[in-house]
Structure 1
Amino acid sequence: MEKNQLVYAIQSARWKTVLGQRLPVLTPWEKGLSEALACPGTMSGEEIAAAIRTAFQKYLRFDGTAHAKTPLTLHFGERWAPLLTKLFSTEMVRTDDLAIGRSAAVGENGMVRASNALRSHLRSNERETEDRDYVERCFGRSLYAPKELALMEQRDCTGNHLGCHLWFTRGEPSPDKPVSADAQRLFQQAEEQAKRNRAAYVKNSDLYQSALLRLTEQIRNCMLIHQQPDTVSARQGHLDSRRVWRLPVLGDDKVFLRSDEESTPGFTVDLLLDGSASRLHCQETIAAQGYILAKSLADCGIPVRVSSFCSLRGYTVLRVLKDFGEKNGERKIFDYFAAGWNRDGLALRMAAELLNTAPADKHLLILLTDASPDDSHKILPTGKVPLSRDYDGQVGVEDTADEVRALRRKGIRVAAVFMGENANVPNARAIYGQDLAPIRRMDQLSAAAGRLIQTEIRELSG
């Protein structure tokens, strides 16, 4: 979320100006940068280049050479929290309130790191009810009753995730919660993104349909090789000595056994889509990836569920887009949108909770990710580590890798389709090991994901 924050703010100001709409709230620094970049059409190419260089030098301290930046960290006592909340209210809104939008390209970190030191201090217990209501209004009512959700938090919000909260939802609004103006605007933005997702799929339907057919064929062939057909009772076939008595006693003539070519796979697949703001620039692509993967698995008779996750105000939200058994439920995957932060390790714990409702004993969990865990809620101090830490960078990667290993120790297969920056490839390798399919373009999806899924099916069928 932080990496795209500046990019999103400047783009929002630019296009609201073009559309004649009310400008978003900007800090004086952001406003100055936005105005400096708004070059009029009367300028020549040389004048535009000079203006951009001047803006970069003034606002981003860019002089054409690479410099190692030392993060600025400020520490404040609890007594300063009320004053800082007033002084930095605009920053707090921008950090902790949900915004669904687009980004033309992957943004870079242009924020002053001092905000990281403030995030954990600007929250209090008094806001917990307000935050829960806000999350519920934005994402929909919880799948679980408060008592059941509290028990899950007691199990899962431990260690690095102490002080965090969980929210499972299908995106259905709460009938007893009034819809605020902010929530209504978010719903409209989500609907607009869903339309863009569907329109992008239709526009590239030839490419996507080809990928879908190829992937379905690869999965089906692998299933035929590695799945043993079930035997079912029938009126003809091989005599089943254990059922012979049923013919004279019960008049049941199904005393034979035959192979059922349409055997059940014996495992389920959960697709987990990273729904954080770092995916703003590729929401349509991720929605298409999720649809193609889910549709190909479902067409092969494999039960599949699709969910997305993000985090906001200390809540990690897991939203079920398509559940097991939903016919043609793959279309709901196009309701995917990106917003907020991502606490990958806690999202994996939540996925494990959902697996308890899966209709099989064996499970395959596939993540669509950029391997860049980053959350605004800090890791609280412990006896071993007396200082709080940001949940990002190497710390976030190590925590996510630990959760992947914990799931694998339980017998759950965990794999990932990676599409992100080249700099994050080592992170993806560290988290998922060999169970990883890196791709750069959609035309690589069927081949890379096909190999990955075939490997997992062989392991599950063994």
Structure 2
Amino acid sequence: MGNGLKWIFNEYEFDNRVNNLAWTVSGKYDEEIDSSEKDYSSKDASMYYAIIAGARRKYVDWETVKKYLVNRIKAGYNKDILCTLIQIILNDVVEKKVIEERPGVVDIRNKAYDDILKGYSKIHKEDILQLLKYTYVLQQMDRHPVMDRLVRKILREINAIDSNDDIMNILKRVDEIYLTYFQHILDSQNQNVEFAEENVKNVDIDFDTFADFMLEELYSDQEVETVETEINNLTGGMLVDGLGDENGDIDLESTPNRAIYVNEEMLNKIYKRVEYYYGKSYLSQNDSRKIEARNCRNVHEGCRLHFTDGVLRSPCDNAFQLKYVTRQKDNNIFEFQYKMKMYRRQINKLKENFSRLLIEESSSDRVYSDCGTIYANKAWRIGRSSNNKVFYKDVDNGKGRYVIDILLDSSGSQTSKQFMVAIQAYILATSLTLARIPNRVMGFQSFLDYTILKRFRDYNDNVRKCEDIFEYYCSGNNRDGLAIKATCDGLLEREEENKILIVLSDGKPNDVKIGKDSSRSIRGEMSYKGVVGIKDTATEVRRARKRGIMVLGVFTGKETDLEAEKKIYGKDFIYIKDIQRFSDIVSMYLKKVISN
């Protein structure tokens, strides 16, 4: 593979540097940097987009931008054009501001853009939005591309915007550019832009009327929610989407839905390398394809599933990955051993609680009747007494046995909680195993269009296998709906009457879509985030419950994302601010479920 994909796998610690750079620029250390705000085509690109991600948070009032977008989209403005204009203009604003504060950013930016543009094999000149972005980037690099008069006029308007101006005035300029150059050049059938210069006209916007969009109470919750995805794309989207390769064999398209396009040759390389980076699959290729055929539909069309025990417990000749995962495991074990006595007490306490509860719930009542098993001590009544109840039946509670799946979000957003999640999952799984409750622990993360499901322990493994949970590490994205759907497949095959799925996540499904051909739309092409990801994950949770699986969502994210978690899991979810309470809280839930 080219330089564009190599370093993403063998320098995970660089990701922390990227996050720290964004936090330093923004000054807001409590905000997570979304994976969509990072570029993996090169290190310089990643560093530059980290700077821009921090600058967006520092310099842009996104609440005002959101209100503006809601109002204009409701009024009929073309969403793609408007969002592209805002993206270019606000990128220009924050870039100017951050360069003024940190002049060294210019060199980083030029190296980043240079790396990214190497990956472009073609630019569709008929796509004015892409052409506008591409020309803007060349202009920022002090290059002088040939451009038609209309693109030059639009860029001149953008360059004239004062980066130190109030956000209201900047949005007013967005409005003027949109109405002047784009209002009459839309093809309503396919939403592609076609220029007709004779339609260009000058407009004058009344500022008082323009400011009406700040009256947010006029908008319905549904309208505000609809535009949240667009805001997420703007705050997380990159000006030039990049997945560069030194040979330029990837055809990149900049799209508002974060679909990454690669050619067939690169796809084959990626598929062959998944096992190299994540370990060989424990399923045959035929079995994997059957599972994909059942699960990779609708929004997951074209996605793939990779079931693995990880690089340490399955064939893998990737020396660096073996070293990296070993180091992560050692770090997790070190943190556990630091407070091992306390954790061991917690395990024993939970084990005793589970065992006692199961004994109580499995106890049976003896009922005497006129049929059943004869009770010898009362056999004398036959023929001597009118009481014929000399037989008995042992009636159990009918609740049946239990099996539990624990599914851990292993995406990059959990990195800061990594060792705590591993320890708590170990405590819970060990206590369940000692109490003889079958349980499986899996982690999920995404790499391009693959959802990786890593099995740490299986249902019937002995208690020592729980130690493999310390191999838990975080990277990549998360396609929650597909992971839940595939996990439920295995859970439903179990013979136990009571099936429970516990999902630990931050409530923010986030993934990209890989397309093979940028010239035509394919199903599932929209990026898996925002409303799309939440709706799909909620659908899979409800489908699992209809099939008899009790699903509990354990939320570890920010309070601002709490509503999304509620939409996904309904009433059966727990919000824990302290991840170290995970095993205790889940045990309380299980106790409640078993008792009731």
TM-score under structure 1 length normalisation: 0.69
Q: Give SS of 1:389's match.
A: coil
Deviations 1:376-407 (A, max 9, x none): 127999xxx99942211122111101000001
- Give the deviation of 1:450 after TM superposition: 2.3
Deviations 1:108-166 (A, max 9, x none): x6663653738524223333321221211111111222122112111111111001011
Whether 1:411 and 2:537 are equivalent positions in the alignment is no
Residue in 1 aligned with 2:479?
343
Residues 416, 437 of structure 1: 8 Å contact kept: yes
Residues 354, 111 of structure 1: alpha-carbon distance in 2 compared, 3 angstrom cutoff: same
Residues 28, 264 of structure 1: alpha-carbon distance in 2 compared, 3 angstrom cutoff: closer
Q: Give SS of 2:255's match.
A: helix
- Give the deviation of 1:66 after TM superposition: 6.5
Residue in 1 aligned with 2:290?
151
Match of 1:423 among 530, 545, 560: 560
Match of 2:303 among 164, 170, 179: 164
Residues 298, 304 of structure 1: 8 Å contact kept: yes
Deviations 1:49-96 (A, max 9, x none): xxxxxx999x55735977645795499xxxxxxx967149xxxxxxxx
Residues 67, 417 of structure 1: alpha-carbon distance in 2 compared, 3 angstrom cutoff: closer
Residue in 1 aligned with 2:570?
433
What is the distance in 1 between the residues matched to 2:274 and 2:591?
A: 38
Whether 1:315 and 2:450 are equivalent positions in the alignment is yes
Residue in 1 aligned with 2:470?
334
Whether 1:117 and 2:252 are equivalent positions in the alignment is no
- Give the deviation of 1:258 after TM superposition: 11
What is the distance in 2 between the residues matched to 1:432 and 1:191?
A: 34
Residue in 1 aligned with 2:328?
193
What is the distance in 1 between the residues matched to 2:580 and 2:446?
A: 30
Residues 262, 515 of structure 2: 8 Å contact kept: no
Q: What are the residue-to-residue correspondences of 1:65-104 with 2, within 5 Å?
A: 68-69=64-65, 72-73=83-84, 86-87=119-120
Amino acid at match of 2:309: R
Match of 2:47 among 18, 30, 35: 30
Residues 400, 176 of structure 1: alpha-carbon distance in 2 compared, 3 angstrom cutoff: closer
What is the distance in 1 between the residues matched to 2:570 and 2:289?
A: 33
Residues 174, 438 of structure 1: alpha-carbon distance in 2 compared, 3 angstrom cutoff: closer
Amino acid at match of 1:352: C
The count of corresponding residues between Structure 1 and Structure 2 is 375
Residues 406, 132 of structure 1: alpha-carbon distance in 2 compared, 3 angstrom cutoff: same
Residue in 2 aligned with 1:355?
491
Q: Give SS of 1:62's match.
A: helix
Root-mean-square deviation (Å): 4.3
Which segment drifts farther, 118-127 or 149-158? 118-127
What is the distance in 2 between the residues matched to 1:368 and 1:69?
A: 32
What is the distance in 2 between the residues matched to 1:378 and 1:129?
A: 13
What is the distance in 1 between the residues matched to 2:333 and 2:525?
A: 42
What is the distance in 2 between the residues matched to 1:25 and 1:84?
A: 11
Amino acid at match of 2:119: K
Residue in 2 aligned with 1:396?
533
Residues 145, 324 of structure 1: alpha-carbon distance in 2 compared, 3 angstrom cutoff: same
Q: What are the residue-to-residue correspondences of 1:171-320 with 2, within 5 Å?
A: 171=310, 179=317, 183-228=318-363, 266-320=401-455
- Give the deviation of 1:458 after TM superposition: 3.5
Residues 9, 26 of structure 1: 8 Å contact kept: no
Residues 365, 415 of structure 1: 8 Å contact kept: yes
Residues 364, 413 of structure 1: 8 Å contact kept: yes
Q: Give SS of 2:537's match.
A: helix
Match of 1:62 among 55, 58, 62: 58
- Considering fraction of residues, name the structure with more helix: 2
Residues 356, 395 of structure 1: alpha-carbon distance in 2 compared, 3 angstrom cutoff: same
Q: Give SS of 2:527's match.
A: strand
- Give the deviation of 1:446 after TM superposition: 4.5
Residues 273, 308 of structure 1: 8 Å contact kept: yes
Residues 264, 150 of structure 1: alpha-carbon distance in 2 compared, 3 angstrom cutoff: same
Residues 259, 527 of structure 2: 8 Å contact kept: no
Amino acid at match of 1:136: E
Residues 310, 318 of structure 1: 8 Å contact kept: yes
Higher relative contact order (CA 8 A, sep 6+): 1
What is the distance in 2 between the residues matched to 1:351 and 1:32?
A: 35
Amino acid at match of 2:508: S
Amino acid at match of 1:112: M
Residues 291, 331 of structure 1: 8 Å contact kept: yes
- Give the deviation of 1:174 after TM superposition: 10
- Give the deviation of 1:223 after TM superposition: 2.0
What is the distance in 2 between the residues matched to 1:170 and 1:134?
A: 16
Residue in 2 aligned with 1:364?
500
Residues 439, 346 of structure 1: alpha-carbon distance in 2 compared, 3 angstrom cutoff: same
Amino acid at match of 2:359: L
Residue in 2 aligned with 1:137?
276
- Give the deviation of 1:354 after TM superposition: 1.9
TM-score under structure 2 length normalisation: 0.54
Residue in 1 aligned with 2:18?
10
Residues 168, 401 of structure 1: alpha-carbon distance in 2 compared, 3 angstrom cutoff: same
Q: Give SS of 1:341's match.
A: coil
What is the distance in 2 between the residues matched to 1:448 and 1:336?
A: 21
Residues 294, 330 of structure 1: 8 Å contact kept: yes
Residues 30, 13 of structure 1: alpha-carbon distance in 2 compared, 3 angstrom cutoff: same
Residues 147, 73 of structure 1: alpha-carbon distance in 2 compared, 3 angstrom cutoff: farther
Residues 152, 227 of structure 1: alpha-carbon distance in 2 compared, 3 angstrom cutoff: same
Identity percentage over the alignment?
25
Residue in 1 aligned with 2:70?
none
- Give the deviation of 1:228 after TM superposition: 3.7
Residues 535, 568 of structure 2: 8 Å contact kept: yes
Q: Give SS of 2:459's match.
A: coil
Amino acid at match of 2:58: F
Q: Give SS of 1:142's match.
A: coil
Residues 128, 353 of structure 1: alpha-carbon distance in 2 compared, 3 angstrom cutoff: farther
Residues 379, 389 of structure 1: 8 Å contact kept: no
